[in-house]
Homo-oligomer: A and B are copies of this chain.
């Protein structure tokens, strides 16, 4: 059968993965979850092994002009740990493959690994193996994180039910504004290398962009309170995109309330400078590594006391669609305008 879609740009990242893997059937009964969630889930004699992998390319995912190597290593690990936590599982091991371009010095590579190792130390994870190579072009970093989970605790994207509350940890949009700040200073630097960068007063935004942390604390909190989300995903591409993933996978609709979406004052301040609506940064910005999850009203009672968790909406029937409700009560359909490595949304 002729395939009608001819261009990668038309598919986007998720479309491409789906396109390439949709008709794959799993051979092993032990493969509990294949492509299409934050991580794969495999049953090795009762203990569930959860694994995920990311590939980061120079010029696409990071820019060495303003990304210190140590931060790059740290963030590359964090992005993967976040995916494991988003399964309500605990990361235990990482495997790191890096291809270095010849322009890098050994000191720079050591700094990259210092960042990788710091992330491992902070989150009690072993760097268990990997591969290094050279690159004739840019640098590439691929990290696989492997962790363990319990069958009754694991949370997929497809478990959201009508009337479940939609919750988010922390605040959103800060990493995106941090990136805008770095891009502005890069431009100024390239035009006039004498000018000192003006980064003061935006420590939080820079930290969110350069040294994000995954929400291990939230997963720990769930465990201690014996609270069980119905669906969960980490916010790497923006709230809109991730909410749509949960709704599409679960076959439900949703209402998100704009007034409830948490945005830090520093994010609001810089957004005003850049003439960006803070809400847009929260919806489409990405790289926040916060957790987006749904819980039944009964389970939500357990979580109410945690100031790092905010209910921002609820799940509806699928025919109600996926909407953002603005403060004047109007409905705006959610759109996946998140950061897209394929450029189709830009």
Interface residues of A (CB under 8 A from B): 3, 5-8, 11, 13, 16-17, 19-21, 24, 26-28, 30-31, 33-35, 37, 39-40, 42, 44-47, 49, 51-61, 92-93, 95-100, 102, 104-106, 109-110, 113, 117, 120, 124-138, 140, 142, 144, 146, 148, 341-343
Contacts and interface: CB of A to CB of B under 8 A. Distances in A.
B136 A42 contact: no
17 contacts: A8-B105, A16-B132, A21-B130, A31-B93, A34-B128, A35-B128, A44-B49, A45-B46, A51-B95, A53-B97, A55-B131, A55-B133, A56-B133, A57-B134, A60-B99, A134-B341, A135-B138
Contacts of A31: 92-93, 126, 128
A13 B119 CA distance: 24
Given A5-B106, A93-B40, A57 B135 contact: yes
Given A49-B44, A98-B55, A142-B53, A13 B133 contact: yes
Q: How many copies of this chain does one complex carry?
A: 2
A304 to B, nearest CB: 34
A56 to B, nearest CB: 8
Given A47-B44, A55-B131, A142 B97 contact: yes
Nearest to A116: B20
A240 to B, nearest CB: 20
Contacts of A104: 8
